[in-house]
Every structure is written in C-alpha cells, then in structure tokens.
Structure 1
Amino acid sequence: MHAGLDRTYVSGIESGRRNPTLDVAARIAGALEVPLSELFSQVTLDMGASALADAANR
C-alpha cells in the first residue's frame, strides 16, 4: 500500500476491528489522493444515516 501500512492492518480498519489514529487516516487519505476531510465526511454521512434508521425503529 502506498501509505506504508501493512495490508492486514488496513483490512482491520476496513472491517472495524481496528481504529486508526489521525496520522494513519491522513496517510491513507494521501495514498488515495483525497483530502482527509473527505474520508471523515463519508463516515459522518454513514453515522448520520445509521442514527436516523435507529431513531425510526424506536
């Protein structure tokens, strides 16, 4: 991986078994050639959709 991270570590992040530090997230964003804020905006959107679904099921 271009971020210099082991593929098993990245797999752990993708599956939710590991939580990356801000430094690691920045390295991943750099390797993907996207702004760090774009990675977090997708997470925020996903979390918001999940929260709305949970609220609707109550």
Structure 2
Amino acid sequence: LVPLFVSSFKRAEELAYAMDARCYRGGDGRTKLNPLRIHLSDIVLGIVLTFFAAVPVAVDFLIR
C-alpha cells in the first residue's frame, strides 16, 4: 500500500513539473472548489452507520 502512495505522489510531482514547464496556469473555464457543509442528515447517517458497525463487534465480544 505504501509503494502505491509513493508512486502516486512521485507521478503527481512529475506532472506538476511538466505543467509548470509549459507555463500552465489554468483558465476561466476551469472548475472551482465548492466547500461542503455538514448537514443534520450527515450526522444522523454517521451515527446510524457507527451503530451498525459497533453492534456486531459488541455482540461478538459479549458472546466470547
């Protein structure tokens, strides 16, 4: 798993150098980053998923 991350970062760095060498700066047609906001439904879903993940672990712990 670590070699995968290392090679990904190496490739990203090579691509950044290549783009910089070609004076690429992006343009008006580029997409923009939209910040995400956490809503109540996200929190509820997180709690429900945590509950469903914790129940089998707790049951297994109590059975042993």
TM bracket (short chain):
0.3 to 0.5
Q: Highest CA radius of gyration, 1 or 2?
A: 2
> Could you say which structure has the greater relative contact order, defined with CA pairs below 8 angstroms and 6 or more residues apart?
1
TM-score, normalisation: structure 2: 0.35
TM-score, normalisation: structure 1: 0.38
